[in-house]
Amino acid sequence: MASSLEIKTVSILGCGWFGFAFAKKLIELGYEVKGSTTTPEKLTLLAEEKIKPFLVNFTADEIAADPVFFETDVLFICIPPKRNSAELNHYHNKIKAILTAAKKSGKIVLISSTSVYNDGNTVVNEDSETHPDTDSGKVILNAELLLKDYFPSDYTIIRFAGLIGPNRNPGRFFAGKTDVPNGLAPVNLIHQTDAVGIACKLLEKKAFGRIYNACSPNHPARKNLYTAAAKASGLDEPVFIEEKKEWKVIESLNVPAFLGYAFQVGI
């Protein structure tokens, strides 16, 4: 939904691999950016990039944070659950605490994942039903449902496909491995440049109130992509099993329709 909101200040909860790159781009575009970290040593790094640094720690029960962080035109929640079971168990309450603290925020954008869709051997888009088949996918979907409960008429969700880019070279994922399953299955990936680009375009267009699948429109077979990426990086090429078992193709209807975003990096 287009909005008359004037966006000057953006808070990014979680300046990790995506959040930090996004924050730096927003500074470049002239926004005032508040960035959070749980690591005191990272405060200086944020400040060096002209990002207003905030130490925000949250347990399953409460948030230790300066309330000024949540006084913002747009809040991006960029804290994917870690893979360990303890973190997965606490993620629901963590998101709940964040949404409670965010009552003074303007628009809220949850960075989610395309893992909310199962491998149903089909093409899925934002109108498709969500049936996650991984533990992390289930807790992420749960976070989406919480956001909808808190802000039923105005929630925005960006579901990222597998993220690649600086320090996430796909050539390393399977380098030198043999008998890698599902070699003919299509991949669903997005480069950091495009992940940041889509989030920036959302702000520019003020196209809040929707779910966006953020995934490259290119879906090469696993075998082709990872073999070529390993070769390009001078690594041992993996050997895949020529089979197409569980798979999905992530399609976005809303990124082209409401953001008009043109992808910069081919997959």
Domains of the chain: 9-166+189-218+248-259 (3.40.50.720)
pLDDT (tens digit, 9 = 90+) per residue, 30-55?
999 999 999 999 999 999 999 999 99
Q: How confident is the model at residue 103 (pLDDT cuts 50, 70, 90)?
A: confident
Write down the pLDDT at residue 7: 95
Q: Check the CA dihedral 38-43-49-54 and report its sign.
A: positive
Measured CA to CA, the distance from residue 211 to residue 110 in angstroms comes to 9
Alpha helices by DSSP H, listed for the chain, are 17-28, 42-48, 85-101, 135-150, 192-205, 222-232, 254
Helix, coil or strand: residue 211 = strand
Structure tokens at 225: 């992509």
Average pLDDT of the chain is 94
Residue 67 pLDDT > 60, yes or no? yes
Question: In a 10 Å sphere around its CB, with 0-12 CB exposed, 13-18 middle and 19+ buried, how is residue 67 labelled?
Answer: exposed
Measured CA to CA, the distance from residue 248 to residue 129 in angstroms comes to 13
Which one has a higher pLDDT value, 82 or 171?
Answer: 171
